[in-house]
Amino acid sequence: MTDQHDNPIRQTITEAIAQNDVILFMKGTPDAPACGFSARTVGVLQALDTRFAAIDVLPDPRIRQELTALSQWPTIPQLFVGGELVGGCDIVTEMFETGELAELLGAEDHTSAPEPAIVDGATLQVENRLS
């Protein structure tokens, strides 16, 4: 296995996770999700008024490959909070519905899951939702 310092993509992913309290690795961007699972996860975070960074894994397949190797989680999206993997869409949605996610994020409790947005022909880019 390649050392993190010899692998700039893995190092960038590790730094992004460390530098952002809440970061979502997803397909597409929050404004233009490229899959329903990513759209649903973004919707959950937005329903909780959570500020988050988002990284699109689609522009370079190595991003997804290195993220999966690092997190040991096979699917996208992947939500990290406080440097720790929370999980993918199903886990995030379940935690949202039970109120656990709101508690983890220090947000107001909301318990009705938002519907995923339908996106066609979305432009893909990296986006930071911390502003």
Superfamily in which the 4-105 domain is placed by CATH = Glutaredoxin (3.40.30.10)
Residue 30 DSSP symbol: T
Whole-structure pTM value: 0.79
Task: Tell me if residue 64 falls in helix, strand or coil.
Answer: helix
The predicted-structure confidence for 64-116, as pLDDT tens digits, reads as follows 999 999 999 999 999 999 999 999 999 999 999 999 999 999 886 555 444 44
**HEC secondary structure over 78-128:** EEEECCEEEECHHHHHHHHHHCHHHHHHCCCCCCCCCCCCCCCCCCCCCEE
Q: Where are the domains of the chain?
A: 4-105
The predicted-structure confidence for 1-38, as pLDDT tens digits, reads as follows 445 567 899 999 999 999 999 999 999 999 999 999 99
Closest CA to 22 of 94, 93, 79: 79
User: Which position has the token pair 């709101």?
Assistant: 102
